[in-house]
Chains A and B, each alone.
Chain A
Amino acid sequence: MPGIGGRMSTVIKAKISKMLDRAEDPGETLEYSYQKQMELLQNVKKGVADVVTSKKRLQLQQQKLEQQVVKLDTQARQALAQGREDLARTALERKQFAQTELQSLDQQVAELESQQASLIEKEQKLRSRIEQFRTKKEVIKAQYSAAEAQVKISEAASGVGEEMADVGLAMQRAVDKTENMRARANAMDELEAAGAFDDQLSLTAGEDEIDRELHQLTSQSAVDDDLARLKAELGQGAPEPQSLEPGEQERQA
């Protein structure tokens, strides 16, 4: 039993031979193949457009989250000024969560950017392949009464067929990844509409208990630090021993 590669070539070969069977006239086979290539090129273009749309959407969410971070920080400050440390802590917890989400969005945007670049490269390569095939097709058609024409056609068609299948595979993988991100983006939009990250746990669905505990530990200490920073800024309480580095106050203010 051959592995992935073997299986993939078998699939491609089956498609090609089907394609060759379909048309008894070699000229027709070539035209059919050419037409399929043009369709694929359109699909790749569409794939690039989809990736760009998803990326823009994530970037929009980044902006919203950034605003959210600023807003929550201000709210925490106000709460603390009014002696409501409990509220301040909640606001800072949410801020911490929004910041974690921001980091994950940064990664996703970077991933989409690399998908975009690779699809654009595929599109260009495919375009030049199609041009070569078009030239070859005319040459073969012009002399296809020759005995070797059939062999040439089958060679050209299977080489191109493999290339097409591969571009198709690259497209499929890019689209799958983009769709995963889109589903996540949808979930975030819905949650935001439902009340801006009230339920923090539902956004981290899929994490296991240990992940959550670890996340809580880190965010807890980050929240404590943040709270200490605000208190120091507002001149409340004793200065923390592990307090701020010079300059941080201005930067975060």
Chain B
Amino acid sequence: MIVRIATETQYKLEGDAADELNDLDNQVVAAVDAGDEDQFHALFEQMLDLVRRAGQPLDEDEIAESDVILPPPDTSFVEAAAGFTGEGLIPD
């Protein structure tokens, strides 16, 4: 799975990490639905961290379309509330 962190770069994410990302994604949606800003920031940080840690950055000369695009790391809670809803970034 190719994941982009918007305004940063793209990563290749395999197997378990992709599942983990999906799981975090669902939790973020729950946090946003509950209006829990702190929880949102904590979980969103975990998502970014997971992608940066477990992901393999795409080669500079590789031009590929992403399967998932994470919002910019400086996304505010208000912006997130407009986007992280329903099935989240990764539709089940």
Contacts and interface: CB of A to CB of B under 8 A. Distances in A.
B65 to A, nearest CB: 5
Interface string B52-65: 00000000110111
Interface residue range, chain B? 20 to 34
Interface residues of A, number: 27
Contact of B86 (A1, A9, A118): A1
With a 10 A CB-CB cut-off, give which of A6, A132, A160 has the most chain B CB atoms. Answer: A6
Interface of A: 1-9, 118, 125, 128-129, 132-133, 136, 155-156, 158-160, 162-163, 166, 169-170, 173
A51 B22 CA distance: 37
A5 B89 CA distance: 5
A111 B18 CA distance: 33
B66 A1 contact: no
B72 interface: yes
B60 A166 contact: no
B87 A2 contact: yes
Given A9-B69, A159-B64, A3 B85 contact: yes
A2 B88 contact: yes
Contacts, number: 79
Interface of B: 4, 6-7, 25, 29, 60-61, 63-66, 68-72, 74-75, 79-80, 82-91
Contacts of A169: 6-7, 72
A83 B66 CA distance: 72
A204 to B, nearest CB: 22
B71 A166 contact: no
Given A129-B63, A162-B66, A169-B72, A8 B6 contact: yes
B84 A4 contact: yes
A3 B29 CA distance: 9
A9 to B, nearest CB: 6
